[in-house]
Copies of this chain bind each other. A is one copy, B any other.
Amino acid sequence: MTSDPARAGRTRGATAAPTLHDVAARADVSLMTASRALSGSPKVREEKVKRVVAAAADLGYRRNENARSLRPGQRSGLIGVVITNASNPYYAELQLGAEQVLAGDGMRMLVGNTAEDLDRERRLVADFVGWQVDGLIVVPTGADSSHLAALAGLNIPLVLAARTVDELAVDTVLIDDLGGTRSAVHGLLEQGHTRIAFLGYGMSVPTSERRLRGFEEAHTEAGVPVDQHLVFSGSPAPDAAMRAAAELLQVPRPPSAVFCANNRNTVALMHALKNADIEHRRPQFRVVAFDNFDTADLMPIHLAVVDHDPREMGRTAARLLVERLHGERGAARTVELPTHFLS
C-alpha cells in the first residue's frame, strides 16, 4: 500500500518530472531510503542503494534543488554574479574565473548584467536574494550602496570586484591600478619623456582616480610637473576618447608619449595615430596602455602594456566568497592583484 494516496491518484501530464516518490516506488523502497541512497548516506543496505540508483537512472530522476534548499539551514549552492557588461571581454573573463572556482565547489552561478545602471543593479540583487543565493559577487556600478549594505543584515556574504565602494566594509578584489600605472609612467619618464599625456575617458570614478594618481605620483617622484593640458579624462561619452585622441596630437606643445588608462582609450588612440601616420612622422612617439588585448602586438605603433589577469580576479573573488561561506569571520579583506609590465 502506498503511503501517498494523493500522488497515487494524480493524473498529471504523462511527462511530469519524476520525483523521489516515483523513484522510491519503482525501487520498492521507502521515500527516506531512496533519499539516503541518493545522497550517499552510509547507512543503507548496498543492494537497496543499487536498486534506487537504477530506478533513478531509468526514470531520469533529477533532485529538485528548489525543494531541497527550501529547508532551513540548507544552502542553495547558488551564487549571484552581477557584472556591468558581459560584452566587455574584461568582465566576461571575470565571470569565467569566478565560475571556475565555484563550479569546483559544486556551486552554480546566476548571472546578471547591469549595463552600468544602478537601478538594474538594485533589481538584480533583490532578485538574486529572492532566489536564496548563498553569496554575491558584484562589480558595483556606482556610489549608492544601500542595497548592498542590506546584504550584511541578511547574512549573505558579498565580494566586490574591480571597484570599491568606500562606505562598504566587505571583501574586495582590485587591480593594483596605482602601482601598475606609476611604474609604467616611471619608465617613460626615465626614458626622458617629459610631456606625457593621460587618456582616460569612460571609466568608473574610483578606478580613474587610482590610475590618475599613479600617473601623478610617478611625475612627482621624477620631479617632472604634470601639464594639466595633457590630462584627458572624464565622462563616458562614447566618442570622447576618440575626439581627445585626435585633439591630443594638436595641442601647442604636443606630448612625446601617451599613457592610455584602458582598452577603449587605447583603441581610440590607435585610430588617431594611424590617421596621423605617426609611425613614420614621429618614430620616437611612445604609447603605454593599461589592459592587454588580443591584437596588441599588431597595432600600427609599438605598444607597451600594463597587463593583468581578469580571470584571476574572478577566481580570487570567488575564493574570498567561498571562504566566507566556509565560516571565515575576520574583518573585510582587500586584495590587490599585481600587474605585469610588458614592454
Give residues in A with beta carbon < 8 Å to B.
12-13, 15-17, 60, 62-67, 69-70, 72, 76, 78, 85-87, 89, 92-93, 95-96, 99, 103, 108-113, 126-132, 150, 153-155, 267, 270-271, 274, 293-295, 297-300, 311
Contact partner of A130 (CB less than 8 A), chosen from B13, B62, B127, B298, is: B62
Q: Is the CB of B15 within 8 A of A154?
A: yes
Complex Cα gap A291–B273 (Å):
25
Answer whether A62 and B270 are a contact pair too, CB < 8 Å, given A89-B89, A108-B110.
no
Contacts of A155 in B (CB 8 A): 13, 15-17
Contacts of A110 in B (CB 8 A): 108-111
Q: Is the CB of B295 within 8 A of A64?
A: no
3 residue pairs, one from A and one from B, having the closest CB atoms: A92-B92, A111-B111, A62-B130
Contacts of A274 in B (CB 8 A): 298
Question: Would you give the shortest CB distance from A241 to chain B, in whole angstroms?
Answer: 13
Contacts of A66 in B (CB 8 A): 66-67, 69-70, 76, 131-132
Answer whether A60 and B150 are a contact pair too, CB < 8 Å, given A92-B92, A113-B99, A155-B13.
yes
Complex Cα gap A132–B68 (Å):
12
Task: Report the nearest B residue to A15, measured CB to CB.
Answer: B155
